[in-house]
Amino acid sequence: MKRFYRISAFLFILLFALNGTVIARPALQTDFCQTVTDIPRAECEALAAFYASTGGDGWNVNSGWLTDTEAASWYGV
């Protein structure tokens, strides 16, 4: 029974700490990948998913990501 309370408390704290951040993520913009010219669409979608799942809008440097039509101009790619 003690274990149940510990797990419940941990989950409650975890949910409180996240405070909706997982839900608040912007929708993935895979339609943008139709305009990218220098890599296959599947690679663009993988990079877009990486950007979205790691909070790319909040990166210190995210220049070019999901704005330039050449992935080579995306910072770090």
The pTM of the full predicted model, rounded to 2 decimals, is 0.61
Structure tokens belonging to residue 22: 């997982």
- DSSP-assigned states of every residue in 47-61: HHHHHHHTTGGGSS-
Output the pLDDT for position 23: 47
Pairwise CA distance, residues 41 & 35, whole Å: 9
Backbone dihedral region of 19: left (phi > 0), alpha (psi from -120 to 50 degrees) or beta? left
Output the pLDDT for position 9: 64
Sign (positive or negative) of CA dihedral 64, 66, 69, 75 = positive
* Residue type for position 77: V
For 17-75, the pLDDT digits (tens) are 556 554 445 555 668 888 999 999 999 999 999 998 999 999 999 999 988 889 999 99
Output the pLDDT for position 32: 84
